[in-house]
Amino acid sequence: MIQPFNAVGLVPTVWGISKRDDIMRNIEHQSHIVKAACWLAGLDLPVRLIAFPEGALQAFNDEVMDLDHVAYARECAIDIPGPETDALGAIAKEYDVFIMGQAKARHPEIKDRFFNVGFIINPEGDVILQHYKVAPLYPVEHSMCPHDIYDWWIERYGRNLDAFWPVVDTEIGRMGIMMANEGSYPEHARGLAMNGAEIVYRASIPHPAASNDYYEIQSRARALDNNMYIVAPNLGTYYLTQDSEVPIDTFGGHSYIIDYRGQIVGRQEYGGVSTSVCGPINIEALRHHRTSSKWTNWMKDLRTEMIQIIYEQPIYPKNLYADRAPMKHAEYEEQVIKKQIELMVERDIWKRPSDS
């Protein structure tokens, strides 16, 4: 039996990096938040899970500054496992917790490219899951994703749930990763749920999406639709460079722990100087609900033969970066975004406004 426990999501201050060595400053800073959060949250229930939000290690300078993909891959992306995950593993061992986190990282078989990778570390300090983000924040994110090299990916990993939405079975439940914009699409949460996920990481979302309620609405819906916990911490204050004296609340607060009924069990609206969000996880209650409800465990009622028809026609182009590095912002808008909108209009899925 899995006893109830607390999950903690960090809401950390972060300094943007210009070289890989800068990452350790962020990890050192966040280790102090972990210490405070585990002490306080542990007074209620034992803390078994800590989530470091997306951007906690490197921030988002590659996106904000529209940096060259290859240069960032060589100078700032990490390897998993590596010194950075070893440092997080030491934290996991010290506090006997699982850690969920994210980093821009290289694939060991692909030169001069980086991906957005979510990972899970166990209390022994070992990386036990890696998830390559499948839905980046398309207009600005420079990282590769599996669909960008789709043919290579399925040849290497297969065409199955584990290849795109891996889940790891642990002593505190089955866990998976759904970073940031991935949670904007219900299909990615469903992919994790169909692969058995019970606790899912969903972080981070910038302002104005967080402060305009998108983050909360989407995260609660994904939890409710799939009867799973969502751990959704957001980033705190962002210093663009290591020596910057200008703190910016780029993310707008709104961090949550959400239960399998879509209800918020941990809330932190503050998004400034480093803090955390905490909430209880009860896996046995989740499992009871999934296996005993007559109605609100909706996945049992999926009419998959009909639903498949919705996705028979491809929309977003696969293998976009099979032979080139990801585009910069202006080129992507011209070459991808405008063409995708035109495709939706041409198929008569969308209609243009009358003033177009």
| Res 31: pLDDT | 97
Q: Where are the alpha helices (DSSP H) in 205-334?
A: 214-226, 283-292, 304-310, 329-332
End-to-end CA distance of the chain: 60
Q: Is there a contact between 292 and 300 (Cβ–Cβ < 8 Å)?
A: no
263-268 contacts, C-beta under 8 A, 24 or more apart: 263/220, 264/216, 264/220, 266/7, 266/9, 268/9, 268/11, 268/233
Q: How far apart are CA 258 and CA 262, in angstroms?
A: 6
- Residues in CB range of 127: below 8 A, 6 or more apart: 80, 81, 85, 89, 119, 120, 121
5-346: CATH architecture: 4-Layer Sandwich (3.60)
Report residue 155: phi and psi, to 5°.
Answer: -65, -35
| Res 356: pLDDT | 65
| Res 137: pLDDT | 87
**Of 261, 130, 148, 272, residue with least CA distance to 201:** 130
| Res 353: pLDDT | 95
**Of 270, 269, 238, residue with least CA distance to 29:** 238
| Res 41: pLDDT | 83
| Res 35: pLDDT | 96
Q: How far apart are CA 152 and CA 148, in angstroms?
A: 9
- Residues in CB range of 239: below 8 A, 6 or more apart: 13, 14, 15, 16, 245, 246, 247, 248
Q: How far apart are CA 10 and CA 99, in angstroms?
A: 11
Q: How far apart are CA 110 and CA 66, in angstroms?
A: 22
Residue 249: both structure tokens together: 């609340």
| Res 273: pLDDT | 82
Q: Is there a contact between 125 and 98 (Cβ–Cβ < 8 Å)?
A: no
- Residues in CB range of 220: below 8 A, 6 or more apart: 230, 256, 258, 262, 263, 264
Q: How far apart are CA 39 and CA 164, in angstroms?
A: 36
Q: How far apart are CA 9 and CA 232, in angstroms?
A: 7
- The per-residue pLDDT string of the chain (356 residues; one tens digit each, 9 = 90 and over) reads 999 999 999 999 999 999 999 999 999 999 999 999 999 888 899 999 999 999 999 999 999 999 999 999 999 999 999 999 999 999 999 999 999 999 999 999 999 999 999 999 999 999 999 999 999 988 889 999 999 999 999 999 999 999 999 999 999 999 999 999 999 999 999 999 999 999 999 999 988 888 889 999 999 999 999 999 999 999 999 999 999 999 998 898 999 999 999 999 999 998 778 999 999 999 999 999 999 999 999 999 999 999 999 999 999 999 999 999 999 999 999 999 999 999 999 999 999 998 76
Q: Is there a contact between 277 and 11 (Cβ–Cβ < 8 Å)?
A: yes
Q: Is there a contact between 114 and 143 (Cβ–Cβ < 8 Å)?
A: yes
Q: How far apart are CA 102 and CA 133, in angstroms?
A: 10
| Res 272: pLDDT | 79
